[in-house]
Structure 1
Amino acid sequence: MPKRQVEITAPSGYAATLAAVGEQYGGEDIYAELGENDRCLVRIVCETNVVQTIIDATHRAMGKDAHWRLTILPVEAVVAPDQRKPEKDPEGRTFSFRGRSAPREEILQAVEKGTELDADFLVLVVLSAVVAAVGLISDNVAALIGAMVIAPLLGPNLAFAFGVALGKQDLMRRAMLTNVTGLGIAIFFSMILGNMLGGPFQSIEITSRSLAGYDTIALALAAGAAAVFSLTTGLSSALVGVMVAVAIMPPAVVLGLMLGSGDMKSAGGAAILLAVNIVCINLAAQIVFVAKRISPRTWSEKKASQKALWTNFSAWVVLLGGLATGIYFAGW
């Protein structure tokens, strides 16, 4: 299982307390030293799935007044004599759906990058829209896959779902703004391109993204869940496959092209496909975050987050039901 090194700097009087926290909650290697200015440094090497417990225990031990800082570092490898005792009862193991999960602070730092509405984000949106438009119009699958990978639209959706899980209104607002801005730019740019080219567009790639079916819902739900699993377990390489499996940029570009060329029927199909992908990503992400027990640290924060969690969950379910009904009556 992946390991992390937790480093805590604090007033020297807390050195023994922090070392005891590491020993009590699964630290495999604990080191404490006293430094200058009445400060101490405590290093705890542990498995990833106990980092969250150590962080929460550190919060309780330090209180609000102490000046301290906790840093989480990845551990590439550990070389040491194997001193583990053989397990006497391997059949006694219990399965936990939660599995291994990165601590909420580590996930938060990762998803916050997806909410940054800066020049880099805007440039990536425009470039991915250009590449997607070229790939769609010319039936160039390689270009289309490239657009799926470089499009920065998955991050804001994962950040929004994580904000819901923690009840962080500010994170939810920033993620929503970034997502709406990115989609708006992609659709607007594609509308201009569609108006210039005039249509009709007969490529297979465009036609396939003007239709939505129940298989689309299943794919989007599975890919959304996979995105969160890869995020919480630290397997970031798997996100590339998710980006291709449930891409947001291609249907957004098709929607713009169809609106610009005046093909309202195809635009409606692309809009439904785009909505299905967004709704399913968020719904699946929230389900996995709950299953992984990703929640605020304190009881009061947990209680406050429940309202946002159930409100958003209910809204996504209702939206998905409406989209499924629309697909049924459209006969796709």
Structure 2
Amino acid sequence: MLHLRVISPAATTDDLVALLEAERGVAHLTVLRGAAVRPEGDLVQADVARECVDDLLARLTGLGLDHSGGITLEALDTVLSDAADEAEEAAPGEGTDAVVWDELISRTGEESRLSVSFQAFLTIACLLAAVGAITDSPVTVVGAMVLGPEFGPLAAIAVGLVLRRGDLVRRGALALGVGFVLAMTVTALATLAFDAVGLLAAGALDQLDQVEFIYQVGPFSLIVALLAGLAGMLALTSAKSASLVGVFISVTTVPAAAFASVAAVEGRWAEAGSSAVQLVVNLVGIVVAAALGLLLARRVRPRWGRGRPLSSG
């Protein structure tokens, strides 16, 4: 279930309470008159079955509460209540299959920011992948794949394309474009440093049997990217975010970017070019599959609202 908290002007509270009382998937309805200070009004709280949330948000915004008050949602990990159990039973469908579109927009928008932490994680992931490639260590490469934060911007682009949200597409594209360029530049400089201190021998890249998948592009490169994009979007829309770890491990975006930098510094242009193609194939494949998965979800359960513009902060 999700915990719903609404700040409502006093004049709207009765309509809000009546709306929540009529919803079968609502439990633990609480009304605190005059409790809200900024903005001024009443505080109304309830626990709502996930499968009812999207339609309920449509009605709440229909009352103008996103402008005159405030609406927040919070996931509940544990709920011990007969009333909550009855509400979930009465709600139509399965909670794990429900798509809360505004939650998806907010989440992908937040995770696609070109922030210091995003750039740091991406750069460290590329450096780890470079070390893994140089030492022919698939374990290190897999660790870099898990650490990479690039699925957030990719998901934002897919959501933006499907919902025609240019702000999401621009934010995701900016994070990927600037993020990968900076990370690959730092990786190239680190490779030069490895060369200078003797950590990277001239023939170190000749025998890479364990990590050659990084730069070998084939039909399965696209197939894996498509499956990963579909699985990633399914994980986001069905609240199964733990499954995203498997998505990260399955794609070679970060390793390909890192190896392209290493190979270019070493003058191995064929491997550098193949790695760059691998990177593009994975990025495009993930976005295409994620967008197709989202289109399917939209046909099953159409998005109700227009969404709110993302903050620039």
C-alpha distance 27-33 of structure 1, shift in aligned 2 (>3 A): farther
1:230 equivalenced with 2:235 (yes/no): yes
Q: Partner residue of 2:14? A: 16
Deviation of the 1:156 alpha carbon: 1.1
Instruction: State how far apart, in whole Å, the 2-side matches of 1:150 and 1:35 are.
Output: 46
Q: Partner residue of 1:70? A: 71
C-alpha distance 22-165 of structure 1, shift in aligned 2 (>3 A): farther
Instruction: State how far apart, in whole Å, the 2-side matches of 1:186 and 1:63 are.
Output: 42
C-alpha distance 120-237 of structure 1, shift in aligned 2 (>3 A): same
Deviations 1:89-131 (A, max 9, x none): xxxxx999x9623422222232123222222222222211111
Greater Cα shift, 262-271 or 7-16: 262-271
Deviations 1:238-258 (A, max 9, x none): 111110011310011122222
1:152 equivalenced with 2:154 (yes/no): no
Q: Which runs of 5+ in 2 are unaligned?
A: 308-313
Instruction: State how far apart, in whole Å, the 2-side matches of 1:167 and 1:129 are.
Output: 31
Instruction: State how far apart, in whole Å, the 1-side matches of 2:2 and 2:65 are.
Output: 23
Q: Partner residue of 1:214? A: 219
Deviations 1:278-312 (A, max 9, x none): 011101111111122277644xx59xxxxxxxxxx
Q: Which runs of 5+ in 1 are unaligned?
A: 88-93, 303-332
Instruction: State how far apart, in whole Å, the 1-side matches of 2:117 and 2:82 are.
Output: 47
1:80 equivalenced with 2:77 (yes/no): no
Deviations 1:32-52 (A, max 9, x none): 232257722222222112111
Return the TM-score normalized by structure 1. Answer: 0.78
AA matched with 1:68: G
Deviation of the 1:58 alpha carbon: 0.7
Deviation of the 1:31 alpha carbon: 2.7
Q: Contact 1:186–1:249 at 8 Å: present in 2 too?
A: no
C-alpha distance 120-95 of structure 1, shift in aligned 2 (>3 A): closer
Q: Contact 1:102–1:232 at 8 Å: present in 2 too?
A: yes
Q: Contact 1:230–1:238 at 8 Å: present in 2 too?
A: yes
Q: Contact 1:217–1:276 at 8 Å: present in 2 too?
A: yes
Return the TM-score normalized by structure 2. Answer: 0.82
AA matched with 1:209: I
Q: Contact 2:252–2:278 at 8 Å: present in 1 too?
A: no
1:186 equivalenced with 2:187 (yes/no): no
1:132 equivalenced with 2:110 (yes/no): no
Q: Contact 1:139–1:205 at 8 Å: present in 2 too?
A: yes
AA matched with 2:246: G
AA matched with 1:59: T
Q: Contact 1:33–1:42 at 8 Å: present in 2 too?
A: yes
Instruction: State how far apart, in whole Å, the 1-side matches of 2:115 and 2:233 are.
Output: 24
Instruction: State how far apart, in whole Å, the 2-side matches of 1:144 and 1:126 are.
Output: 14
AA matched with 2:31: A
Q: 1:240 aligns with which of 237, 245, 249?
A: 245
Q: Partner residue of 1:170? A: 167
Q: Contact 2:184–2:261 at 8 Å: present in 1 too?
A: yes
1:291 equivalenced with 2:312 (yes/no): no
Deviation of the 1:134 alpha carbon: 0.9
AA matched with 1:67: S
